[in-house]
Amino acid sequence: MSANPEDSPSYSRTPRTTPTRYRDRATWEQEAIHAILDSAYICHLGFVVDGAPVVLPTIFARVGSRLYVHGSTGSRPMRNASGEQGMPVCVTVTQVDALVLTKSAFNHSVNFRSVVAHGTAHQVTDPEELDVALAALVDHAIPGRSAEVRPANAKELAATAVVRLELDEVSAKTREDGAADDPEDTGLPYWSGLIPVTTVHGTPEPHPGTAVPLPAHLRGYPR
């Protein structure tokens, strides 16, 4: 928690955003949560069908304190979210930073940053909001991209579904430390340390036959 909460607004803390373990790894600060969300573009969307959980990977974007999650009009979660009451969801975003190797099997860990957001998702139906959401989905993964493509036409818009989740009941969890060996393990002849993990975005590969040079927004691709 921040020493000066007014400088660093936080989402409200609830029982289900308070971890049962490793509470010191958790934060509710908006800035920290937004930074993790903005570092990723894939989320795992959880919802419930006939009492059983379903978890699907998809892309998302953040616009202020709102998440937009991409789907399709024909897909199960989108049909569920199209009603007035919406659909209870959990949206989880995870970035892995290192494997943490210790002298004991038990202390092995992973350095990571994750965000877990709970709430009720609603399908975006307002055409203006859908335009904003679709541009955000493209630009969240590839900044500047939405201005340099053919916009969706009416038929494509009708085939696209996006759900909105207001960020409210949300927390982040982070581990960023080195190997945590037990003091009594110090002398053991086993290696401990980190294997760093990074997600690398390589050189863009033009579609065969394309005559268009690489545009500026991809030359400066920031990831």
Query: Do 132 and 100 contact (CB within 8 A), yes or no?
Result: no
Check binding of 26 to its own copies (CB under 8 A).
no
Kindly determine how many residues on this chain lie close enough to bind its own copies according to the rule CB under 8 A. Answer: 90
Q: How far is the CB of 130 from its own copies (least distance, A)?
A: 12
Q: How far is the CB of 41 from its own copies (least distance, A)?
A: 8
Both structure tokens of 178: 């080195």
Check binding of 101 to its own copies (CB under 8 A).
yes
Q: Which of 3, 7, 12, 53 binds its own copies (CB under 8 A)?
A: 53
Angle at 222 between CA 216 and CA 223, to 5 degrees: 135
Using alpha carbons, list the distances in angstroms from residue 139 to 96, 136, 205: 22, 5, 19
DSSP calls for 45-79: EEEEETTEEEEEEEEEEEETTEEEEEEETTSHHHH
Tokens 């199960």 belong to residue: 76
> Residue 11 has what DSSP assignment?
P
Check binding of 145 to its own copies (CB under 8 A).
yes
Which C-beta is closer to its own copies: that of 7 or that of 207? 207
Tokens 């959401």 belong to residue: 133
Check binding of 176 to its own copies (CB under 8 A).
no
Q: Which of 128, 150, 154, 220 binds its own copies (CB under 8 A)?
A: 150
d(C-alpha 119, C-alpha 168), whole Å: 8
Q: Which of 103, 122, 140, 164 binds its own copies (CB under 8 A)?
A: 103
Q: Which of 11, 28, 47, 60 binds its own copies (CB under 8 A)?
A: 47
The piece of 28-36, 60-68, 122-130, 133-141 that touches its own copies (CB under 8 A) is: 133-141
d(C-alpha 23, C-alpha 45), whole Å: 24
Check binding of 35 to its own copies (CB under 8 A).
no
Name which of residues 183 to 202 contact its own copies (CB under 8 A): 185, 188-202
Check binding of 61 to its own copies (CB under 8 A).
no
Check binding of 57 to its own copies (CB under 8 A).
yes
